Structure 1
């Protein structure tokens, strides 16, 4: 006969709605799990969380406890008048439950355990590597289910600002330890993090908002992982860039993402000059206190009539999409300094300047064609069409520059 184990369980939190407010004790037959000290019998709390039990069933959950070296499952138990079946699930789910209750036992019962006895926190479903996890850009509900699973299962979470990210983890009841990782310490942190990854740990990297490595810390660590053949796994999600572009009303088939401009004036002007001549939409991240400076520097290069979109506080309560010309934006935001993170989009140049070829360049093209056997008239026609120059102008250059060579060839 398969032995069973009896224990006193105190349910301190239940997710299914019939038990949401239940805090009752019940003696029950439950699965027994092999632990270092199988003879110990005590009362301890079980916390039932969405991570483990929300995916099993709305009205069913698995209970497990140790007081015997063998494994058994009870048929049913009653807590606060509601009947629930303790079911055996597949190996991965059961291992997850055992790991969680094992850790609860270590914390709640005061039993000392060796490091070798504590099961690894990493989920057996996840491969070791660096996980680049996108996080909400404002609204906490925008995070994906996959991102939550990764953050809960990781051995450590690298965070740009632990205080900021702590609010997200607290909101979703994620207990994974945080480790600061930002632009001021990323080189210092790199070697210890790579060591963790080589040891087979699961490391999650998040930024304050959006995708790490895109105008945020993470690019250098990703490059190092790739060079050392460590797997890098992207976990896509919210993006201020994509959200702003999709709702901007600008052409979206092509665009250029610039991100934050340099703090050096000469570099900013150089980058803006390049962007001003491009035919695709230009997308910038602009801190609110630098918006007016951006508009002052961009207007002479793009022109006051260039259409722009200023997306502010995307996905938040005070979300705003302001649309108008650069000249209008300068007037509006000089009188009304903005607040919140800004994604600024500028319409592409609809009439890009075409570089006019020099006479020397035209002469070289004419000589190439004529050396291949083309007549003067055919060479003039081909150069005119290929370099967008009037045929009359090309012919005049041909006569002036190549006339003597042509006459010499005839004689």
Structure 2
């Protein structure tokens, strides 16, 4: 049985005239015991008017209230010729949410598709992942959230990136120019950047400096095309033959259909059979006249970073499939992601308390067990550690937690998850 004590990231909400910050302590991304607080309301009055109007509209949509007011604010913002491109993208994503709330799902989808189409030839842009996730949510009903941001070191490449450098030889004559194209289907850009898994230009420069310090500098153009998953394989077909292709695979939403077996290093049936043993998998297929195709696979999406970490540490490209041992139990990211789905219910509990005690603030530690089938039991408030006590609120929080559903992993996990509430500024 796993016992997990979480202390970490925060979320904030603003409702009407009350700015409500809900700081949830969950899985860490910093030093042990560190806590982070994000208050979306903080500093809002210092932002440009357009940004403030868009943010207020988003908050109305978050609360599911005043949809007409949100539409009006967004329409006015989009009509502003001084709006930056990023602000316009943010407003258009929010307008897609308005259309969905009004019952026009097709128009909501078309709005996101139009925005993606306008950025088709752009390098990765700030709201690209958000737009892709929203399109997937609208079309399939399932949104895959990214893992938390993690710091990246831009000064070095991973051992595996150095091993991949040989697939991108520097021209012996003519212009010293090189293009490195990496296609990724699934995965997390944040994880890859932290691990420097595919920092091939950095590796090429480092290797060249080591072997020929006085050689001419090389101009390297890096083109990285990241997508949410396998649905972009057909669109990327023209580039697959000349690019490094990286496929992320799990037994959930990132399970690649067998119709794309020809693109993968291993047949889908073989991948599934290996993952069902509970291990991660790395496989590489050499391709004539092109960089290799790479598979990073795990039973669950949250385990993919561990498999990629093993790949990034490899000093040589593996000749055959490599099994990667994975730790038992739910990962901190999986626990945090599910608990965050309970935020709206927790917020309702706190709002009710604020009506009776406007200055109520403090921490409510929730203790509960996750059964092997993902259901929750034995929920209670840890009274000894709580700094915010109210019997009605405790019952509300406990009831909301009972409704959470975690990935079924076949074993029991016990969690202590403190949630801190405080009125906003």
What TM-score do you get using the length of structure 1 for normalisation?
A: 0.24
Give the TM-score normalised by the residue count of structure 2: 0.24
> Which has the bigger relative contact order, CA under 8 A and spacing at least 6?
2
Structure with max Cα Rg: 1
